[in-house]
Structure 1
Amino acid sequence: MLIKSSALALLSTLALAGCGAEESAPRSADAPSSDAAATEVQTPQPRLAMTYDGGVAVLDAATGEVLLDEKVDGFVRLNPAGDDRHLLVSAAGGLTALDLGSWTDDHGDHGHSWTTDPRLTDFTISAEEPGHVVPHHGRTTVFDDGTGVITAFDPADLAELDEAEPSLDTWTLDQAHHGVAVQDGHGNLIHTVGTSEARSGIRMITAAGNELAASDECPGVHGEAFAGDVALFGCEDGVLVVDGRRITKVDSPDAYGRIGNQAGHESSPYVLGDYKVDADAELERPTRVSVIDTRNASLRLVDLPSSYSFRSLGRTPDGEALVLGTNGSVHVIDPAEAVLTTSIPVTKAWQEPTDWHEPRPTLQVIGGFAYVTEPATKQIHVIDLADRKVVRSIDVAHAPNELSGVSG
């Protein structure tokens, strides 16, 4: 039985002190009503957020200037909120909206770009064990691994946090597990099925809880990605592709061929996935990735010159696949041909730590640039994807762990 309800979010118990910035010009009439101090700027201003041991910092992506440094207890994670302005910061007790303070209002043939001081807001979605966050089709879905509660909201409502909190829809699963859920454009919910001991597949239900489709052919189901409106979920022996109400199993070429982390693209039919074959490994360091064509449910493998980690996958704006290797290079893959085309040297060689909480070089793509952290040197390297080279490096005060951002 699955229970659905609606509720307002709980307030955060985190310390939510803001950070000062330069004085801004008065708000234009086109700015959101809750952003009285917003300043209109000529071009979008990308911003980065990085976690470190003890907090989260927001940086100007162009200059590296620290715009906010917020102390947060415990292990901190970053998740895009779905509006290209806010992130959801996972920490003890829930997920709190972090306003990066840079966004563009689209007016069709033109846009208006704005900046304001970044801040950790008071809006928190309570969660016993904050899990996967999935923005898709104007809805953002949060999974609580500890309770099996799924929460969904409209990320556009985050722009008005000073006036009202987003309306939340919630569903409660019979069995809590390390799962993931997503709402499609029709209000239907796709969620994983499992227990604290094992996960077996997915279900698609209406907003009222009526089952539309299901599959139990996905042992160890983990992670999701989208190729346009087609959803993909990883399994220990392949993937499930969900197109409308049709669920198709794509088998791995190996009996155990785990695809647990994926990177999709809004206009490409191809999904990039990792690929592991040792079910007994404490930490497998794979040297192949998978490319799934969601149009014909095919899967191909690509050999790489190095291993990589779960924070190594990315996609360029035009759909190329990127993999940050432990040899220090970003490997570029043509997904249509499933071949490695070039490698871009970025960091010194590194080894993935056994503990997944520990920092390791991380890849994040924002617009036409790829950002790569190097915890050993406390730097963030910036790659111009058009020129295929590192154009600058940003020195930071702490060893960066997770990295995310907005295009501004």
Structure 2
Amino acid sequence: MSIDAAGAVGMLDLLDDTTTELGTISAPSAVASDGRYLFATTPQGVDIVDSGVWTWDHVDHFHYYRADPKLLGNVTGEGTATVSTSNTSTVGGTGLFFPLTGEAVLLDNEALSQGEIRELFRIETGQHSGLAVPLGGGALVTHAGDRGQATEVRFHRADGTPVDGSSVECPDAQGTITTRVGVVIGCATGALLATAEDGDVTFEHLPYPEGTHTQPAVEFDNRKGRPSVAAPAGDEGIWLLDTRARTWQLIQTTEPLLRVSAADDADEHIVALDRSGRVRVYDGSSGDEVGATEPLLPRSIADPALLDGVELTVDRQRAYLNAPAEGVVYEIAYADNARLARTLETPTTPAFFAETGR
């Protein structure tokens, strides 16, 4: 799916190259996706688009579903919202956090799947850049300290009430992702891994390796649902976190990277975008570079306003990268020496895009 700078929404079917124009939302400044819905930050809050295609992961096999795509409407809020999703689009929730008011909102995914926007809770936690992360029928919510930074994470039930004894320190909490193991939240000192079972939430702190002093991981990404996640490590390279083994790895690279994502396949590929617009592929076990493209989006890289909307998405076989100024999306066979497989023309200029149905 693609959304242009004015809010026009379009879909391109990668199987038969058919296109659909869904209509127009308010002009977006950021877009997030869980693989089915697109959550677009607009001046009014967050506009939600249902692509109508999604996957249910049963671990050893997948079920694929299709419904009519539609524009669902808006969730009001102030400031650029942080959107936190889970691995399932029809159960559980989706978290929105509005920094200017400190409001944490949990949306009902089952209602979204029926075309209804329903807030399970909306609570005020103090003005800060925070998170509301769905977990176990409720959500992990950051709370502000004296300096207006997220210092603590608390678990709130679906009705918004906090659970006694389910809070933990997480200084300068930023960035989150849901893996097959649990929920990851970045902290200044490492990562917080939260899991839920029978209504009980367990927290584990995964500190950075001793002797490492690079910037913390805050922009986690991976092939949806997989245990391993990657994040840029400042100008030094890549942070790789294996949530199953509870281990960090710092992979140093020759080029500073803008986006990174862990494919977590048999060859442990990590796919990255560098500052020149090249897509680079690394072996996660050795750290060696195993492939790279030519610069793909020089005009988009040169425009900071456009660069904010550039997204690198990885699935089981391909990586996708939008080039807003060039007006295309690139499909890259990352396991085949970063071969450029296709250049895709979307029905609306891909200022923002998401791969849905995964």
TM-score grouping bracket, smaller chain normalisation: 0.7 to 0.9
Tell me which of 271, 274, 277 is aligned to 2:232: 274
Structure 2 equivalent of residue 94 of structure 1? 45
Tell me which of 146, 156, 169 is aligned to 2:110: 156
RMSD between aligned residues: 3.4
Normalised to the residue count of structure 1, the TM-score between the two structures is 0.71
Tell me which of 229, 237, 249 is aligned to 1:300: 249
- Show CA shifts across 1:213-255 (max 9, x none): 433352x321112332322222344333334423314136445
Tell me which of 115, 139, 149 is aligned to 2:93: 139
Change (3 A) 1:91 1:314: same
Structure 2 equivalent of residue 3 of structure 1? none
Deviation at 1:348, TM superposition (A): 3.6
**Residue 364 in structure 1 maps to residue 313 in structure 2:** yes
Structure 2 equivalent of residue 239 of structure 1? 191
- Show CA shifts across 1:311-357 (max 9, x none): x222337363221223443233344x252351231534748568466
Q: 2:252, 2:242 → 1: CA distance?
A: 17
Deviation at 1:158, TM superposition (A): 2.2
Q: 1:322, 1:113 → 2: CA distance?
A: 27
Q: Which runs of 5+ in 2 are unaligned?
A: 196-200
Structure 2 equivalent of residue 258 of structure 1? 216
- Show CA shifts across 1:194-213 (max 9, x none): 26954243323241213434
Normalised to the residue count of structure 2, the TM-score between the two structures is 0.79
**Residue 316 in structure 1 maps to residue 269 in structure 2:** no
Structure label with greater radius of gyration: 1
- Does the CA-based 8 Å contact 1:78-1:89 persist in structure 2? yes
Matches within 5 A, 1:5-404: 49-62=1-14, 65-68=18-21, 70-80=23-33, 82=34, 84-103=35-54, 113-114=65-66, 116=68, 118-121=69-72, 123-136=73-86, 138-161=92-115, 165-185=116-136, 187-194=137-144, 198-207=148-157, 208-218=161-171, 220-243=172-195, 244-251=201-208, 253-255=211-213, 257-264=215-222, 268-276=226-234, 286-295=235-244, 297-309=246-258, 312-316=259-263, 318=265, 320-335=269-284, 337=285, 339-345=287-293, 347-348=295-296, 350=298, 352=301, 355=304, 358=307, 361-385=310-334, 387=336, 388-396=338-346, 400-404=350-354
Change (3 A) 1:376 1:183: closer
Deviation at 1:289, TM superposition (A): 1.1
- Does the CA-based 8 Å contact 2:13-2:19 persist in structure 1? no
Q: 2:355, 2:296 → 1: CA distance?
A: 24
Equivalenced residues, count: 339
Change (3 A) 1:359 1:78: closer
Q: 1:98, 1:167 → 2: CA distance?
A: 14
SS in 2 for 1:263: coil
Deviation at 1:302, TM superposition (A): 0.9
Deviation at 1:371, TM superposition (A): 1.1
Residue identity over aligned pairs, in percent, reads 17
Letter in 1 for 2:112: L
